[in-house]
């Protein structure tokens, strides 16, 4: 394998019309299911959406991102205690998973599974795009996909054959994320230095100018991920989790 394979990975949002068969998707999911999982419980499920009607139903809940309608398959990865609890009930075992610890266990299982699938798909030459909007509109997505209680949408991946080469996203230097032995906190000077390359990019400068802001950080705090929006969607998601998982 090319040693730069992972460094050069790209998020793909534009796809050709070439189809990826159900058999290939199922095989990749089977391979992804060998990702690490807590206690080998595999607390996840995935719903695939292929039809134009199905994708059109989901698209508004992902703020009509073009990759939803443009991809071959939409995969909604869900934390799933429904299957495990029903197995316990059918086996004379008393489940005790209506709590935050259990939810986080299922979230970790689901996230590892989704990322393993993404890596497998990309290594086969397919393109993937994570949709962070899944947690924003989880109640609507759950209704559209007919999810039962104890099944919570965590993330969504659009999948297809790449249409051209996608741009390469920037990343912070490893010095920004690596702490040896103990956490070394940042000073104002050191953190600005770590973000200097990101801020100096032409696309970052364009971002700042287009939004009439003083800094790239302000684009994140004032435009892209505002306090008001974060608080609103936090309440929506938390209420849904409580209703779905904790009322067992």
CATH label of the domain that carries residue 106? 3.40.109.10
Across the range 169-192, mean pLDDT stands at: 96
CA angle 4, 8, 13 (to 5 degrees): 155
Dihedral in degrees, nearest 10, Cα atoms 65, 156, 4, 174: 90
Residue 44 in domain? yes
Contact status, residue 77 vs residue 154, Cβ threshold 8 Å: yes
- Determine the pLDDT at residue 247: 64
- Determine the pLDDT at residue 1: 60
Percent over 70 (pLDDT), the chain: 98
Query: Above 60 in pLDDT, residue 172?
Result: yes
Q: What is the pLDDT of residues 80-91, one digit of tens each?
A: 999 999 999 999
Contact status, residue 76 vs residue 45, Cβ threshold 8 Å: no
Distance CA 148, CA 3 (A): 43
6 confidence band (pLDDT: 50, 70, 90): confident
Q: CA nearest 14: which of 146, 121, 160?
A: 160
- Is 19 strand, coil or helix? coil
Residue 9 in domain? no
- Determine the pLDDT at residue 74: 98
**Structural domains counted in the chain:** 1
Residue 223 in domain? no
Residue 31 in domain? yes
Residue 63 in domain? yes
3 confidence band (pLDDT: 50, 70, 90): low
Query: Above 60 in pLDDT, residue 248?
Result: no
Residue 156 in domain? yes
Across the range 214-221, mean pLDDT stands at: 96
Residue 155 in domain? yes
Residue 77 in domain? yes
Range of the domain at 95: 22-166
Q: What is the pLDDT of residues 104-154, one digit of tens each?
A: 999 999 999 999 999 999 999 999 999 999 999 999 999 999 999 999 999
């Amino acid at each position: 394998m090319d040693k730069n394979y992972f460094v050069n990975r790209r998020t793909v949002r534009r796809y050709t019309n070439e189809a990826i068969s159900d058999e290939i998707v199922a095989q990749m999911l089977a391979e992804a299911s060998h990702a690490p999982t807590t206690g080998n419980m595999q607390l996840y499920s995935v719903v695939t959406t292929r039809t134009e009607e199905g994708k059109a139903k989901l698209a508004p809940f992902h703020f009509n991102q073009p990759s939803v309608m443009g991809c071959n398959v939409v995969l909604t990865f869900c934390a799933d205690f429904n299957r495990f609890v029903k197995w316990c009930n059918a086996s004379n075992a008393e489940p005790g998973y209506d709590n935050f610890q259990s939810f986080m266990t299922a979230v970790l299982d689901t996230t590892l599974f989704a990322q393993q699938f993404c890596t497998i798909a990309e290594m086969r030459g397919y393109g993937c795009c994570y949709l962070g909007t899944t947690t924003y509109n989880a109640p609507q997505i759950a209704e559209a996909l007919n999810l039962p209680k104890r099944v919570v949408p965590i993330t969504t991946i659009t999948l297809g054959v790449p249409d051209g080469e996608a741009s390469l996203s920037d990343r912070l230097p490893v010095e920004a994320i690596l702490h040896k032995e103990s956490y070394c906190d940042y000073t104002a000077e050191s953190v600005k230095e770590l973000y200097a390359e990101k801020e100096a990019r032409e696309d970052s400068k364009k971002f700042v100018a287009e939004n009439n802001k003083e800094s790239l950080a302000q684009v994140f705090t004032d435009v892209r991920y505002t306090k008001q929006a974060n608080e609103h969607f936090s309440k929506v998601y938390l209420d849904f989790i409580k209703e779905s998982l904790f009322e067992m």
